[in-house]
Structure 1
Amino acid sequence: MSITVQASGAIGLTAAEVEQRRRDGRTNDVPDRASRSVRDIVRANIFTRINAILGVLFLLVLATGSIVDGMFGLLIVANSAVGIIQEIRAKRTLDQLAIVSQAKPTVRRDGKAQEVAPQEIVLDDLIELGPGDQIVVDGVVEESALLEVDESLLTGEADPIDKAVGATVMSGSYVVSGSGSYRATKVGKDAYAAKLADEASKFTLVHSELRTGIDRILKFITYLLIPAGLLIIYNQLFSSGESWRPALTGMVAALVPMVPEGLVLMTSIAFAVGVVRLGRRQCLVQELPAIEGLARVDVVCADKTGTLTENGMRLSEIRPLGHGEQDAARSALAAMAAADPRPNASVQAIREALPEGPGWAHTAIAPFSSAKKWSGYSYGEHGNWLLGAPDVLLDPASEDARVAERLGASGLRVLLLAASDRPVDAADAPGVVTPAALVVLEQKVRPDARETLEYFAEQNVSIKVISGDNAVSVGAVASSLHLPGGDHPVDARELPEAESELADVLERKTTFGRVRPDQKRAMVGALQSRGHTVAMTGDGVNDVLALKDSDIGVAMGSGSPATRAVAQIVLLDNKFATLPYVVGEGRRVIGNIERVSNLFLTKTVYSVLLAFMVGVAGVGSKMFGYDPLGYPFLPRHVTIAAWFTIGIPAFILSLAPNNERARSGFVGRVMRLAIPSGVVIGACTFVSYLYAYAGPHATETEKVQASTTALITLIMIAVWVLAIVARPFVWWKYVLIGASVAAYVFLFTVPFTRHFFKLDPSDIALTTFAVLCGAVGIVLVEIAFWVSARITGTEAHPTPGGPAAAR
């Protein structure tokens, strides 16, 4: 059997040929990132539906000649500017991290191998392949040494496919075992990799429970805006009895607060800030909802090697077995390590300890694969040598197997060096195995692993250690980290295949060894079948299937290109300890978006209700001969009402700490507070306005006093809603609420601001009534809040946050 078949021209392209193809445009000219351009970001943040609505209303106010009442137009600038700035900052972070994490294929040019960026590949380039390498462009195999390719990313078929010389390989697949090279036949946009790259590292708010919930809320609000808007427009222009200028400004004042202009903005900011913060910790978020998804995780499946332990290993001991000789074992190990073109961590440790190989020429090779758990080389007269898992190659009842198990139980990594009676590439290999030596390697536990596991335990997140290593060795590492159940590891070869039975075992046990790639995938599915939200961490090719199927895939930056390609989150610093920061950032984003959603939607509810009540009262007055009723506020009034009850506090709260695990049911929780609060504010404000209203022929002073009376009532209750949303209290939240109250006292008492904003609280009777209405509203809002908490059986704070949120 021929191990390597080499086609003609295997030296690769010459420099001149590469340059000619570049001039001809036959390059892999796909974008090195999939984030939006600055131009697209600017356009997307300016031309929005909310900006369009506010822009039209702003132009209507300008038509009346009252520029002051057009201050809400600054929201257009703020919406666009903040969104653009934050997204460009996040884009730059993502672009920089994407370049750092980019896999570089190895091409052969002028007979020499060199690493290049994927964009530098040209048509007909000869690209070398090894285990874990991702195929970055389409091509045809030129050399094959037992080359196996997994095309599951393309076809969904998990079984590796043999690729002989002449076979076609598709970009997006990856090498499972063996080595070889292929010639690029499709590059650039013609290759499948272009589509794959377009889906990675996108700065978009794709589907998530949070985004879906907000979209549902906005759709519901749109349905309310149409009848409320039509009613208030009719009342202001035809029923109020006012001239066109005040009628028009009143109409605008009614419509502006109905639009939750800051809700989508704050959501975008919260996500963008989260990406930037994580980027500073060397965490690449390839999909923004991954931040949200990881915050909802209640089970983390962690691979042992590279996650709980460091990738690097050290050769501790070579222990001869039977009649094996130390020198013979060392020579065979040195030869195998030197012959491996792409050594894994174990072989690399052997190579570092035994750098001088004997110079044996191999006649056959059997690359390592996670399915058979061993690799081998045949060296003619020097014999056939195997290196693999002792529990696979040894008789479990033998003394050698018991020794290997004892060593593994102490947390060491143990491999068996053995001789075989047949070539390693024989169909019935390994055949009769003669143990030669146990190769003992030390695997260092990450110093931050224990602290990370303790964090997850405190957050009620279960950890499942899932590894392809020996179960006893995995258990030793888990026990050293004080993981519950680590002292009772499960050998995955004994696990049931039925999903329900597998799920039962996973619910009870925490540590699993000898797990095959397909089993990792099945374990993720079994946990999901029990309603768990599962995150999977890994760095090897054998983790790819499980990473793909998990709710959130987390890859190590030093892992294989294939794992980084399918993961939503990449830990570029290779630190498992970074994961709690990702979880914490997700919880901060979700909890705080829910907080600010309460504020914005409460404003929308009371604005719609107030418009309905004023509109109905105005139309009714015309029908029954009562005094016509106009809208109580000017646009400047609704602007300042939102400044310190929603706008500034919402921005601060959106960036506040929040460490409570996210829960489903976002829409229901938000509306349970927003609807009753909005109804109370709208009703109390309307009552206060009716009491102070002096009719359409009132003097300008009386109109201002009536508006001021209603505004005092509205602001009092709205500030209390802010206090409810801000719970539980810590010192800075007291400062926030106190500052809001102080700001309104300033606006209502300083002569300049009173004149500028048309405020007049000088009528003691009206102001007293406004305060009484506000106090009644506060009591009603508080009662509604506690009743809702009692009915739903939730704690007395409206959003995820609880005591932990105060930290």
Structure 2
Amino acid sequence: MTPTNLETGLTNTDVQQRIAAGQQNDPAPSLTRSVKRIFSDNLLTWFNLINVLLAALVFFTGSYKNMLFLGVAFFNTAIGIFQEIRSKRQIDKMSFLSEATYQLKREGKLIRVHQDAIVKDDLIMLSRGDQLPVDAHIVSTQGLEVDESQITGESTPIAKQVGDPLTSGSFLVSGQAVAQVTGVGRTSFIRELSSEVKTEHASHSQLLDTINRIIKILTIVIVPLGAALFISKMVNGNSLNAAILGTVAGMVGMIPEGLVLLTSVSLAVSAMNLARRHVLVRELPAIEGLARVDVLCLDKTGTITSGKLKFDQVVPLGNTTSDDLQTVTSGLIHAIGDENETATALKDAWPNPNWTASKVMPFSSARKWSGAEFDTGAYVLGAPEFILPEPDPELQKRVHKYASEGYRVLFVARVSQLTADDLGTVTPMGLVLITDELRENATNTFAYFANQDVALKVISGDNPTTVASIASRAGIAGCEHLVDMSTLEAPIDYDHLAATYTVFGRVTPTQKRELVKAWQRADHTVAMTGDGVNDILALRQADCGIAMASGSEATKSIADFVLIDSNFDAMLNVLNEGRRVVNNIERVAALYLIKTMYSVALSLIFVFMASSYPFQPIQLTPISMFTVGIPSFFLALEPNHERLSGQFMKQVMVIAAPAAICIVSYIMFVFLVGGVQLQMPYVQTSTLSVMMTGAVGFMALLMCARPLNRMKIGLVVIMLTCFILVFVFLGHLFSLSSIFNFRLAMFYLPLLVSVYPFFYVVQELLGKRLFSRIRWR
């Protein structure tokens, strides 16, 4: 049912009828996984399946205590689920605060609602920067231009007239409109546009990609190697139970249980921490992405300046008086109806003369001007170089003078015709000067980024001289290297521009995107900040997009981060959280991969040996728990804001490979000398294997925990104490023999003393002679 009066909109009764009929729009897609999905994604994993199957095999042997490894896996998964749900609640709360609201007309009144309150046939008020959450058709409009690139792939704005359709997902680049909703929820053209856009612009995690490559290799190796080990033990006369327990021990050791989980938990905790600081994270891997950024592209408004513009003065030209210039500008700005910062500043400065426009051309980022036609003539307001058909040297000199003083300069002119491509005869009337307030703490923020080797680039649609002046006041280095992009002729060498200049003025949306591409071609990781529709193309292209909550909904919908308070200083928290995650995961990943590496090596060795595998599953539990599992969770959440090394595998292998070599060497020494020559029983050789593996594990833990502090030293001491107590009091539970045996002590004490020098020598040899020659990615 269509409203009978388009001036009043739907009544409350109409709204309730449509809700009852299921004609209500869907809420915005959630940025987090549902609780059900969190449970399923954490529980239903390949390695959990292997753990369950291995536990079933151990159950078959009747040695139930050897199923304890399943408890460790369950404990790790439970921690992951708890942390992710905890983070989800915080993020969802902040997501609701950042959601766009839309203005509707109901019962003759204007109300503001979230998108899920919109129903079919509602009248929705739209303005520049809005992104349509529903399908609609235009009832009335003033110079409406729409970007439908989300749907068509074509970014050229499309002019719309009364009666034309508006498709969900498109956004307004200029003008205003009143539209009547025709499609909501499942009947709209793009039901989950935001989710689909993020799929196209998905943030990639180098950390998770590297870990997943390791997992893929293990997935290929673990089953056939386990099968080969089992067959070998059976062929060599081991009992069925012994073969099963040895095989399970080998396969459990190969699984880096908790590594992927720990990475995901670390990112989720970071997102929760950032939400508390009023930064909404739309893609968890983006936290890591920003930590790797080395080029940060800044928009002037909202990042360098506060965005609070203030009218300063008018400068008449020719025969125009100050009063006439002020009256024309006021009539223009009120008739056009733009809601950007410049228009707001001028509206606040002057009363509305109530001029009636017969034609309106709202501001466009591509045109750099807006205009309107009245009974007295047509007038335009914007950048002089985009309005004047030919450059005016005298006017350029005056504009440059004001711009160098930090003013935003607007040009007002009378034109003979008002079309997008041709203004006819242009008669200058004067200049309007606006001041831009430098954002508090801007200098300190940019100095911090510069000290972290992040190159700062300023990309703005304003006059480059004005932008450079303000950027210089904010302490951004290299501001003397500026370029006016409007003066360049095609083809533009963007690679040269990106390498040469710091400040880019009069930049069009397409040029912003091409500059970002140029830095990416130069192997830089690029972050882009923005708040308007003119930033959308560049935000989508950048490795990391940052939007202000005060900006347009279209901008926020594709950004990786939304600054709820529109405070750019919050990006320091994001940078530090990203570094904490990457640095800490690089640090603890070595602990997980040590076990994987020595287990794979031992499995390969013992496939060709008649002896039983050196461990039972239960014996791996204290090693995994005290040298890896518990300490890794503490270390992963520790503050660590050091610059990234960019060499994940090298950082991991420098510790993991020497530790794995040492462990395999000690176990083979125990087996060949203790087991073969000294005829020690299996329970003693396996006990010594657990002891030496733990000793090397704690050496690796100390190295991963560097730089040491009281908390880390205390953590290692507590873990070591617990590990020793297992041998003293819980030996029977973990199938360990007593270590209070003189003959046994004479064997293991020298080995324990040798751990540090042996580890040091192996690491030095590998680090200096091998790893230094390998090109790591």
Q: 1:670 to 1:312 in 2, by over 3 A?
A: same
Higher mean displacement: 123-132 or 512-521: 123-132
Q: 1:370 to 1:446 in 2, by over 3 A?
A: same
Shift of 1:712: 1.8
Shift of 1:268: 1.4
- 1:448-487 counterparts in 2 under 5 A? 448-487=441-480
Cross-structure match for 1:97:
94
Cα distance in 2, alignment partners of residues 760 and 467 from structure 1: 73
Do residues 152 (structure 1) and 152 (structure 2) align?
no
Shift of 1:427: 6.4
Shift of 1:92: 1.4
Cα distance in 1, alignment partners of residues 747 and 402 from structure 2: 82
Q: 1:799 to 1:223 in 2, by over 3 A?
A: closer
Cα distance in 2, alignment partners of residues 536 and 788 from structure 1: 40
Q: 1:581 aligns with which of 539, 550, 573?
A: 573
Cα distance in 1, alignment partners of residues 338 and 288 from structure 2: 37
Q: 2:35 aligns with which of 30, 38, 52?
A: 38
Cross-structure match for 1:170:
167
1:107–1:127 contact (8 Å) kept in structure 2: yes
- 1:505-584 counterparts in 2 under 5 A? 505-584=497-576
- Per the normalisation by structure 2, the TM-score is 0.92
Q: 2:760 aligns with which of 772, 775, 782?
A: 782
Do residues 654 (structure 1) and 631 (structure 2) align?
no
Do residues 715 (structure 1) and 711 (structure 2) align?
no
Q: 2:264 aligns with which of 242, 262, 268?
A: 268
1:11–1:108 contact (8 Å) kept in structure 2: yes
1:214–1:667 contact (8 Å) kept in structure 2: no
Cα distance in 1, alignment partners of residues 274 and 149 from structure 2: 30
Q: 1:498 to 1:773 in 2, by over 3 A?
A: farther
Higher mean displacement: 79-88 or 27-36: 27-36
Do residues 210 (structure 1) and 207 (structure 2) align?
yes
Residue identity in the other structure for 2:608: V
1:133–1:560 contact (8 Å) kept in structure 2: yes
SS at match of 2:608: helix
- 1:428-447 counterparts in 2 under 5 A? 428-429=422-423, 431-436=425-430, 438-447=431-440
Higher mean displacement: 257-266 or 133-142: 133-142
- Per the normalisation by structure 1, the TM-score is 0.89
Shift of 1:400: 4.4
Cα distance in 1, alignment partners of residues 438 and 545 from structure 2: 22
Q: 1:686 aligns with which of 648, 668, 673?
A: 668
Cross-structure match for 1:804:
none
Shift of 1:439: 2.0
Cα distance in 1, alignment partners of residues 656 and 421 from structure 2: 70
Shift of 1:49: 2.0
Cα distance in 2, alignment partners of residues 93 and 192 from structure 1: 31
Shift of 1:686: 2.4
Shift of 1:558: 0.6
Residue identity in the other structure for 2:683: V
Do residues 737 (structure 1) and 716 (structure 2) align?
yes
Shift of 1:468: 0.4
Q: 1:695 to 1:487 in 2, by over 3 A?
A: closer
Shift of 1:66: 4.2
Q: 1:387 aligns with which of 377, 381, 402?
A: 381
Residue identity in the other structure for 2:557: A
Cα distance in 1, alignment partners of residues 203 and 530 from structure 2: 24
- 1:297-316 counterparts in 2 under 5 A? 297-316=293-312
Q: 1:35 to 1:241 in 2, by over 3 A?
A: closer
Cα distance in 1, alignment partners of residues 381 and 653 from structure 2: 62
Q: 1:464 to 1:794 in 2, by over 3 A?
A: farther
Cα distance in 2, alignment partners of residues 247 and 695 from structure 1: 23
1:376–1:386 contact (8 Å) kept in structure 2: yes
1:713–1:771 contact (8 Å) kept in structure 2: no
Shift of 1:142: 2.6
Shift of 1:541: 0.9
Cα distance in 2, alignment partners of residues 725 and 211 from structure 1: 19
Shift of 1:58: 2.7
Cα distance in 1, alignment partners of residues 420 and 368 from structure 2: 16
Q: 1:456 to 1:787 in 2, by over 3 A?
A: farther
Do residues 343 (structure 1) and 339 (structure 2) align?
yes
Cross-structure match for 1:19:
16
Equivalences, count: 772
Cα distance in 1, alignment partners of residues 739 and 225 from structure 2: 29
Cross-structure match for 2:278:
282
Q: 2:248 aligns with which of 242, 245, 252?
A: 252
Q: Deviations over 1:382-417 (max 9, x none)?
A: x43332224444675454443332222122222233
Higher mean displacement: 297-306 or 401-410: 401-410
Cross-structure match for 1:28:
25
2:317–2:428 contact (8 Å) kept in structure 1: no
Q: Deviations over 1:321-342 (max 9, x none)?
A: 3433233333333333433434
Q: 1:704 aligns with which of 676, 683, 694?
A: 683
Q: Deviations over 1:462-512 (max 9, x none)?
A: 11100000111001011112212113321112346446x321222121111
2:299–2:529 contact (8 Å) kept in structure 1: yes
Q: 1:149 to 1:272 in 2, by over 3 A?
A: same
Cross-structure match for 2:48:
51
Q: 1:670 aligns with which of 652, 658, 667?
A: 652
2:134–2:168 contact (8 Å) kept in structure 1: yes
Cross-structure match for 1:626:
none
SS at match of 2:465: helix
Cross-structure match for 1:181:
178
CA-atom RMSD, angstroms? 3.0
2:105–2:111 contact (8 Å) kept in structure 1: yes
Cross-structure match for 1:360:
355
Cα distance in 2, alignment partners of residues 201 and 696 from structure 1: 64
Cross-structure match for 1:623:
none
1:704–1:760 contact (8 Å) kept in structure 2: no
Segments of 5+ residues of structure 2 without an aligned counterpart are: none
SS at match of 2:671: helix
Q: 1:611 to 1:434 in 2, by over 3 A?
A: closer
- 1:765-780 counterparts in 2 under 5 A? 765-774=743-752, 776=754, 778-780=756-758
Shift of 1:755: 4.2
Shift of 1:20: 1.8
Do residues 414 (structure 1) and 396 (structure 2) align?
no
1:33–1:201 contact (8 Å) kept in structure 2: no
1:123–1:185 contact (8 Å) kept in structure 2: yes
1:688–1:770 contact (8 Å) kept in structure 2: no
SS at match of 1:105: strand
Shift of 1:423: 5.1
Residue identity in the other structure for 2:182: T
Cα distance in 2, alignment partners of residues 402 and 697 from structure 1: 96
Shift of 1:452: 1.7
Residue identity in the other structure for 2:71: L
2:304–2:474 contact (8 Å) kept in structure 1: no
Cα distance in 2, alignment partners of residues 768 and 547 from structure 1: 66
Higher mean displacement: 722-731 or 100-109: 722-731
Q: Deviations over 1:237-278 (max 9, x none)?
A: 563545x55554444333322211111111111111111111
Q: 1:329 to 1:206 in 2, by over 3 A?
A: closer
